[in-house]
Structure 1
Amino acid sequence: MSALLQARSVETAALPVIDISGLSSSSPETRAEVGAALRQACLDKGFFYCAGHGIPEGLIDAAFAETRAFFDRPIDEKLAVDKVQSFCNRGYEHLRGQTLEPGAPADLKEGFYIGPELGPDDPRVMARRFNRGPNQWPTDQPGFRPTMMAYFAALTDLGERLMRGMALSLGLPETHFDAYCREPLGTLRLLHYPPQPSDAAPNEKGAGAHTDFGGLTLLVQDDVGGLQVFDADGGSWIHAEPIPGTFIVNLGDMIARWTNERYRSTLHRVVNDSGRERYSIPFFYVGNPDHVVECLPNCLAPGEQPKFPPITVEDHLKAMYQRSYAPAAKG
């Protein structure tokens, strides 16, 4: 493997493990303790392992089983629910369908997009609002839809709980982001990474180096590994090894905008050099598309100006999708 794609293994303390069960406590002091732990992680790398999340292990296992079963299907069956057929970015994304790192080869992964299920008569769908509409569902896989919708609902709830913790971490009332969490957009992505080939193109990776677009990313990965996080302080990449029973949570670009980059949206990538198939399921908690994201006053030092103008969640996402799926990047 190219030296450019190598990463170092570190003690998991480099990415802290935070038990968030205290966010559901009746004790304000206990909830504040979780907020303080989140603050430290967000000021450092913006990545942490989330324990005590309450998502049933059986539901996670079922989501992985359905994910593997879908990607094992013949290509013509996967293309029957191709994302190009959807006006709201739902369905199957073919191998090398996205380029996350400008200037690098297309990502060596295939995926499947799922969002909130909205029918054709919904006013937001009729108006063709961004990323609003019906999902595409594979046929002859009866467990896929109910499993994914149950998982989607559970992760939406977890995202809302974490946003309350984020408010506490910033010294704000824990209800501060409630409007952002009302009728949120979320995207569930099922991802399959083939093994990195020995004759890979220069700088080819499973997922190119990128920051995430939205608010919070809640990632569950299998035991293969391959996620690498950039350590800006050390100037190198580190492995984010799977830890059973945890999600990896990282901050997206909207949180960085909100905090004037006090909180970090950190570069990360995937290099699957295991020789095995890798599967992961990230959930992108984005929030209400009409919510305006503007710098929080308590994140500005005296005399400091905001680095970013106010923007709605929807307009921010449109810009990010355009960058990632620009025609020149599709190849």
Structure 2
Amino acid sequence: MMVTENKKTEALATSLPIIDITGYSTATPELEKELCSKIREACSDKGFFYIVGHGIDQSLISELLAQMQLFFGLPKNQKRAIDKSLSPNDRGYEAIKNQTLEEGTPPDLKEGFYLGAEYADDHPMVQAGRFGYGKNQWPSNSECFQKASNQYINEMTELATSLMSLLALSLNLPKNYFAAFNHEPAVTLRMLHYPPQPENPLPNEKGCGAHTDFGGLTLLLQDHNGGLQVWDRKQEYWIDAKPIKGSFIVNLGDMISRWTNDKYQSTLHRVINKSGKERYSMPFFFTGNPEHIVSCIPTCLDPNESPKYPPISVEQHMRNMYKKPMFDNKY
């Protein structure tokens, strides 16, 4: 859906909440209650918030950012050699202007590299052709890149799993409510490179078109150049989600909106790289177990309210999302 620009002045200051989750893994009931209250408020509003105190070491982040920049600096033919069109599970390189996330606009001004958790060919999920499972493609002589990427994916999976527990508590559910969803989850790490916005862009041309994410949780690492904007549906303007050192931005996907009967929100967002510099970011998509059934959570129904959506498996939900016009060539 194309978003019409509002004539109001766009927000210049960050107005997304910042939640310090230090000690979340061993939190006392009092701390859990405090964290869940903040998460509930954020998820009921825009479904976007920063987290700090997450425990992911900055040295790993710095190493991966450096390796990512080296990758995008490779000659085009080396990147094209591992194009994601060559992968049965959509892993690998995506060239600039190869995706259009906002219907009716020019192609996105970004290039990407898709990775996920490594699953061998004989793994049951791979054998069954499940959505998002399989092997990664790598450039040659990339042992350091592979090591840092795999470690980051493992640690981010653990972090996302913990956030799902806090999400459960925020919905007045048992802490382990999402345990089956979290089991052997499909995850995607998407490394992105945005060149500077052209001085004379095409109408509505931008780094990444306005869209909502499809799955469960997204945990975004930004560099220091900024560019992410989040739509404030109440005030009808774009909020600049400025980089905060040591933070991730967390946002909810459409599946969480569906699961909560729209009590928790997935929200439009986009990227316009106006920094005049190269921009790099890494969204980590936590999609969950493909066989898990997403059915309206009982605590999300008001008295006499009915579910808006029928039950659906995680995999079927994701496949339905990828049937949208801009994703005709996927899956």
Q: Which TM-score band (shorter chain)?
A: over 0.9
Corresponding position: 1:73 with 2:68: no
1:196 corresponds in structure 2 to 197
Unaligned runs of 5+ in 1: none
| 1:226-284 deviation per Cα after TM superposition (whole angstroms, max 9, x unaligned) | 00000011101010000001100001111101111111101000001111110000100
Task: Kindly state the Cα deviation for residue 44 of structure 1 after the two structures are TM-superposed.
Answer: 1.1
Task: Kindly state the Cα deviation for residue 313 of structure 1 after the two structures are TM-superposed.
Answer: 0.7
SS of equivalent residue, structure 1 residue 151: helix
SS of equivalent residue, structure 1 residue 143: helix
1:39 corresponds in structure 2 to 40
- Counterparts of 1:33 and 1:216 in 2: how far apart (Å)? 20
Matched residue type, 1:167: A
TM-score, normalization by structure 1:
0.95
Task: Kindly state the Cα deviation for residue 22 of structure 1 after the two structures are TM-superposed.
Answer: 3.9
CA distance 1:324–1:18, shift in 2 (3 Å)? farther
Matched residue type, 1:79: R
| 1:22-72 deviation per Cα after TM superposition (whole angstroms, max 9, x unaligned) | 422341121121111100111111110101100000011111011100000
Maintained 8 Å contact 1:36/1:168: no
- Counterparts of 2:19 and 2:329 in 1: how far apart (Å)? 40
- Counterparts of 1:292 and 1:152 in 2: how far apart (Å)? 24
- Counterparts of 2:124 and 2:177 in 1: how far apart (Å)? 28
Task: Kindly state the Cα deviation for residue 11 of structure 1 after the two structures are TM-superposed.
Answer: 4.0
Maintained 8 Å contact 1:98/1:324: no
Task: Kindly state the Cα deviation for residue 122 of structure 1 after the two structures are TM-superposed.
Answer: 1.9
- Counterparts of 1:247 and 1:133 in 2: how far apart (Å)? 26
> What number of residue pairs does the alignment pair up?
326
CA distance 1:318–1:203, shift in 2 (3 Å)? same
- Counterparts of 1:76 and 1:98 in 2: how far apart (Å)? 19
Aligned residue runs from structure 1 range 2-151, under 5 A:
4=5, 8-12=10-14, 14-151=15-152
CA distance 1:328–1:86, shift in 2 (3 Å)? closer
SS of equivalent residue, structure 1 residue 21: coil
CA distance 1:287–1:327, shift in 2 (3 Å)? closer
1:237 corresponds in structure 2 to 238
1:318 corresponds in structure 2 to 319
Unaligned runs of 5+ in 2: none
Tell me which stretches of 4 or more aligned residues in structure 1 moved more than 6 Å: none
- Counterparts of 1:269 and 1:16 in 2: how far apart (Å)? 18
Matched residue type, 1:284: F
CA distance 1:113–1:328, shift in 2 (3 Å)? closer
Moved more, 128-137 or 240-249: 128-137
- Counterparts of 2:45 and 2:84 in 1: how far apart (Å)? 36
- Counterparts of 1:260 and 1:307 in 2: how far apart (Å)? 6
Matched residue type, 1:8: E
Matched residue type, 2:66: A
- Counterparts of 1:5 and 1:297 in 2: how far apart (Å)? 37
Maintained 8 Å contact 2:138/2:146: yes
Matched residue type, 1:144: F
Matched residue type, 1:65: A
- Counterparts of 1:224 and 1:324 in 2: how far apart (Å)? 31
Maintained 8 Å contact 2:252/2:267: yes
Maintained 8 Å contact 2:218/2:284: yes
| 1:136-174 deviation per Cα after TM superposition (whole angstroms, max 9, x unaligned) | 011123311111000000100000010011011111111
2:174 corresponds in structure 1 to 173
Maintained 8 Å contact 2:92/2:113: yes
Matched residue type, 2:152: Y
Corresponding position: 1:296 with 2:297: yes
SS of equivalent residue, structure 2 residue 251: strand
Matched residue type, 1:326: F
- Counterparts of 1:318 and 1:273 in 2: how far apart (Å)? 33
The alignment-based identity, stated in percent, is 53
